Structure 1
Amino acid sequence: MAVRADGVRSEAGTALLVLAAVAVCSALVGVLWGWLAPTEQLLVTEPGRGAPLTGESTHQFDAVALFVCAGAVTGLLTAVAAWRLRAMRGPLLQVGLLSGSLIGAYLMAWVGESVAESLHPRPDDPPVGQIVELPTQVGTALAFIVQPLVASLVLLFLAALSPSEDLGTGYGSAFGRYRRSAEFEPIGFDAAVPRAPYGSVYGGYDPATGDGSGSVSRPAH
């Protein structure tokens, strides 16, 4: 069974568009995260050094928690949106969504940290005793796997819930739109062979003309 190259190119192009769309959406969410991420207040104890105030160190966790939640919601929504592309459902769409989510997670962190830096710039040489605000950062690479993980799991979950083997695409192959599933016939049925009328196997017995004796005429040997 040959795979049509034009169908593969179409699906690959759609996967690239999904990748780009997810990356752009993640960057926009990064702007929101950079604006909402809390800052950490430090007391300058000596030139170039500072000590965090009481309770301020917890803002690092708060910033990472907000980033994880933003990535999870972005992965969920982008997976549902990608699933709406009914004709393009398949492995290439999964690859495009996964790649876009992974790139988008890094973009979200980079854009968000840039926005936080612009909103709360670091002072060059603050005097001793001054309280300064420093923008928090993601700080851990483990937070980057949340968005692609959620997106992949949601897409796989939707595929598992699909009642049809072709995921609703109308095609019988995973790549290239080879043929529609409607063209397949049930196993054991040949459309070219006409089906025999009822009763022909039993010698043409007709209940309407029976004598009520319950006997059935048998074909002659």
Structure 2
Amino acid sequence: MTVPPPEPGVSRAQAAVTVVVGAAVMGALVGALWAWLAPPIHGVVALTRSGERITASLGSESDHWFTSAFMFVGMLGVVAVVGAVLSWQWRAHRGPVMAAALTVGGVAAAAVAAGVGASLARLRYGTVDVAGAPVSEESRVHYVVEAPAVFFGHSPLQIAATVLLPAAVAALVYLLAVTATVRDDLGAWPPVEYPLPTTGRIGTGADAPPAAPSAPWP
């Protein structure tokens, strides 16, 4: 005999808010961890023969622009997968509301992580003041360290793609769990029990065909 899930102690709206807030908190932690791990970019501010100031990266340091952004996206992807799996374990609240909360939470996590990560990286490495760099005719090169990049670029499309990626990953993982569930109610609360099929005639219970067994509670 299967046992349905117990009645939840919180409402579905409270559960959704909990998921969104939890995702935002995880985003803050991801941003702080990224600011600590992401590699900075070493470069120079140089004075050309014409008197113009230019900036350039040293050697292969320019690759760190891509490495730091890719690291940021990868960390958000891990948070999205773990968050979707943990939300699915909250069996009583499975359904479209939780899926929507995961989507909003993914966007919130990415936005908070980007803000915290960029702010901490800026505090750690500062900004490059090209106009105030101490270069002159006698010393034409000044070495600088630039903060890593959160996004792959500055265009609105690149920023939007990074912010929406964890939401898409979380929704996809949750959808895979839904499609693998045999019960139409996903095992959520309240449980849905389907009536026995009718025979269209009056008789005893022994005359009715046996009902198909309901799917067990996951």
TM-score, normalised to structure 1's length? 0.74
Instruction: Find the aligned partners of 2:170 and 2:14 in 1 and give their Cα distance.
Output: 19
1:127 and 2:134 aligned: yes
Matching residue's letter, 1:10:
S
Matching residue's letter, 2:187:
G
Instruction: Find the aligned partners of 2:95 and 2:64 in 1 and give their Cα distance.
Output: 41
Query: In structure 1, what is the equivalent of residue 5 of structure 2?
Result: none
What SS does the corresponding residue of 1:130 show, helix, strand or coil? Answer: strand
TM-score, normalised to structure 2's length? 0.75
Query: In structure 2, what is the equivalent of residue 109 of structure 1?
Result: 114
Instruction: Find the aligned partners of 2:189 and 2:111 in 1 and give their Cα distance.
Output: 36
Q: 2:205 aligns with which of 195, 210, 217?
A: 195
Q: CA deviation at 1:62?
A: 0.2
Instruction: Find the aligned partners of 1:193 and 1:144 in 2 and give their Cα distance.
Output: 62
Q: 1:148 aligns with which of 164, 167, 176?
A: 167
Contact 1:39 1:135 in 2 (8 A): yes
Contact 2:41 2:148 in 1 (8 A): yes
Q: 1:68 aligns with which of 58, 73, 93?
A: 73
Query: In structure 2, what is the equivalent of residue 28 of structure 1?
Result: 29
Contact 2:93 2:189 in 1 (8 A): no
Q: 1:59 aligns with which of 52, 61, 64?
A: 64
Instruction: Find the aligned partners of 2:105 and 2:60 in 1 and give their Cα distance.
Output: 36
What SS does the corresponding residue of 1:57 show, helix, strand or coil? Answer: helix
Q: 2:195 aligns with which of 172, 185, 189?
A: 185
Matching residue's letter, 1:24:
V
CA 1:41–1:186: 2 relative to 1, 3 Å: same
Query: In structure 2, what is the equivalent of residue 213 of structure 1?
Result: none
Q: CA deviation at 1:54?
A: 1.7
Instruction: Find the aligned partners of 2:14 and 2:60 in 1 and give their Cα distance.
Output: 49
The number of residues matched between the two structures is 181
Q: CA deviation at 1:49?
A: 3.6
What SS does the corresponding residue of 1:55 show, helix, strand or coil? Answer: helix
Contact 1:64 1:143 in 2 (8 A): no
* Structure 1 runs not aligned, ≥5 long: 1-6, 172-179, 199-221
What SS does the corresponding residue of 1:56 show, helix, strand or coil? Answer: helix
Matching residue's letter, 2:175:
L
Instruction: Find the aligned partners of 2:206 and 2:59 in 1 and give their Cα distance.
Output: 88
Q: 1:169 aligns with which of 169, 174, 188?
A: 188
CA 1:195–1:81: 2 relative to 1, 3 Å: same
Q: Which has the larger radius of gyration?
A: 1
Deviations along 1:53-77, whole A, 9 cap, x unmatched?
A: 1211111100111011111101000
After superposing on structure 2, the runs of 4+ consecutive aligned residues of structure 1 that deviate more than 3 Å are 46-49
Q: CA deviation at 1:104?
A: 1.1
What SS does the corresponding residue of 1:38 show, helix, strand or coil? Answer: coil
Instruction: Find the aligned partners of 1:71 and 1:105 in 2 and give their Cα distance.
Output: 7
Query: In structure 2, what is the equivalent of residue 136 of structure 1?
Result: 148
Deviations along 1:133-167, whole A, 9 cap, x unmatched?
A: 00022233122222111100000101111121111
